[in-house]
Amino acid sequence: MSSLTEPEGLARNMLIVSTTLTGLTVLEYAWNISFEMRVIWPKVWKSAEAKIFLIARYVGLAGQIFNVWFVNRMASGINHHPLACRAWYSHQAAIIQCLLMSVELLLMLRVCKMYKNDKYVLGILFLFAVGQCATVIISARIVVPSVGFYPTCVMVINSHPSRIYVGTSVIVVYQCLLAMILWRYLRRDWSEPLRSYLRITARDSVLIVISVTCLLLPLTLAPMGIESRTIDNLLFHVMLFGFWFAADRLVLDKERFHLAVQNNRELTEVDLDNLEPLDDPDICPVKPSDSKAVSTEVFIAFDSESGLETEEDITDEMHPSG
């Protein structure tokens, strides 16, 4: 039995990785579909976050399934026209950029709400978005046409120098967004329900930025001579799954916390004389009162669009005036 040629071996490895990641994608999708239909779809017309989530979710899912079909043809030794191979790599680049921008926009929405849509912060985020789009478009027009491939469309090493700018620019933007989130989270005294939510946001943001950085490092290091045909051919499949999963985590974790908060109504004893105002009164205002202590039912109203909550005293008229 003859050994596989290099293109055949690469195509086989691509098929194994793509099939495995697609299986994980379908499993994660099936696990959360009921929650998605019940919680996220009803918000699609009024929530920008829900729109971004659904676009990323179904574009990524379709991209993964298409990858399995096309890579199976490659592993079967079917030759393709060069234009078909160009279209294949353009398709991969477009899917990756869609998912990457979706994750970036979800992080930007969190930054906007944490800084209460401050005009200076909005300006910084706008510059990030414009610069990122310009870098991606210019680099894609240079990188994709320079890709070399075998007749089956298996990629020959592509180490065009412009790849370093794509990877570096994305990593820098994500690091800046993470710094803005952590700065706001650590420098403010948040009320407890909101603190728990922001703790989840900070945790997810840290993990996502680390993942994005690790996924983009091979893209950045290849022009420096650190390259591998195996990594080049498998990288896009891994990136597609990684960015798709990151977009899912950002929204699903938030919505699960939202649902848990909505279901948490309890009778609490509040000493209004000893309440200490938080350092951001716009987020959690404190109402003055001369009462010593009243039994109040606190309902936590969570704004699904902004991710911020307010606390309303349902029984603030319980005690007589005077």
Q: How far apart are CA 36 and CA 46, in angstroms?
A: 15
Higher pLDDT pick, 5 / 124 = 124
pLDDT for residue 9 is more than 80: yes
pLDDT tens figures, 275-322: 333 454 444 444 444 444 444 334 444 454 444 444 443 334 334 444
| Residue 3 pLDDT class (50, 70, 90 cuts) | low
pLDDT at 194 over 50: yes
Is the separation of the CB atoms in 222 and 236 below 8 Å?
no
What pLDDT, on the 0 to 100 scale, is given for residue 227? 58
Domains of the chain with CATH codes:
6-262 (1.20.1070.10), 266-313 (no CATH)
Phi-psi region of 79 (alpha: psi -120 to 50; beta: other; left: phi over 0): beta
Specify the DSSP class assigned to residue 314. Answer: T
Confidence category of residue 218, pLDDT binned at 50, 70, 90: confident
Task: For residue 120, give the 3-state DSSP assignment.
Answer: helix
Question: pTM for the full model?
Answer: 0.78
pLDDT, position 283: 41
Q: Which two tokens stand for residue 302?
A: 């969570």
Q: What tens digit of pLDDT does each residue of 18-32 get?
A: 999 999 999 999 999
Residue 274: the pLDDT is 34
pLDDT value for 160: 61
Q: How confident is the model at residue 111 (pLDDT cuts 50, 70, 90)?
A: very high
Q: Is the pLDDT of residue 242 over 80?
A: yes
Mean of pLDDT values over 117-130: 89
> What is the tens place of the pLDDT at every residue in 44-67?
998 899 999 999 999 999 999 999
Percent of the chain with pLDDT over 70: 73
Report the percent of the chain where pLDDT is more than 90: 33
Angle at 280 between CA 278 and CA 284, to 5 degrees: 70
Of 93-107, 162-176, 274-288, the one with minimum mean pLDDT is 274-288
E strands of the chain, at which residues? Answer: 148-149, 155-156, 266-270, 294-302, 309-313
pLDDT digits (tens, 9 = 90+) for 62-92: 999 999 999 999 988 888 888 888 888 888 8
